[in-house]
Amino acid sequence: MDDELIRVCAVAARVACRRMTPRCLKALHDSVEQACCLPSGFDWDRKAAAHAEIVNLLADAAADPALAVLVRDIPGPLHALMVTVGPAAGGIIAGSRRRLLTLLQAGDADGTAREMEQHLGGLLWIRRVSRHPALSTVQAGIAV
């Protein structure tokens, strides 16, 4: 499922970049700014939902019915991933969203897709690491 999440989000970003209109870019910008500007003490679940909404906006910008079908189920797992990694990843998520906007404004479809892939790959890595903390030196059988 993780590979599918990355693949679908990257495709949505690439296609949206190629078909971006000023109106869609403004909607994306407004959505990112709204999500990023929510107070740090704000309910993380709601803030993660606001960040996850970007995938729907990318699908809208892509104006591709087949892609819309693929994307329709992505915000749920994306939201769950963000909730799992927690508010400590808020800065990482906000930074990625702003880089994504910059790449969209520049019309860099490959860069936009790559940013989405790297961002989601990083969040998935954080999730894996947080679920499986490294073995302590005692557990690993190493005398200290």
Asked if the model's pLDDT at residue 59 lies above 60, the reply is yes
Is residue 41 a part of any domain in this protein?
Answer: yes
Range of the domain at 118: 2-131
Is residue 140 a part of any domain in this protein?
Answer: no
How many domains are there within the chain? 1
Average pLDDT, the chain: 88
What's the first-to-final CA gap in the chain, in angstroms?
A: 40
**pLDDT one-digit tens code per residue, 110-143:** 999 999 999 999 999 999 998 866 544 444 454 4
**pLDDT one-digit tens code per residue, 6-34:** 999 999 999 999 999 999 999 999 999 99
Is residue 27 a part of any domain in this protein?
Answer: yes
Is residue 92 a part of any domain in this protein?
Answer: yes
Confidence of residue 57 (pLDDT cuts 50, 70, 90): very high
The CATH number for 61's domain is 1.20.120.530
Tell me the Ramachandran region of residue 108: left when phi exceeds 0, alpha when psi lies from -120 to 50, beta otherwise.
beta
On whether the CB atoms of residues 97 and 32 are closer than 8 A, the answer is yes
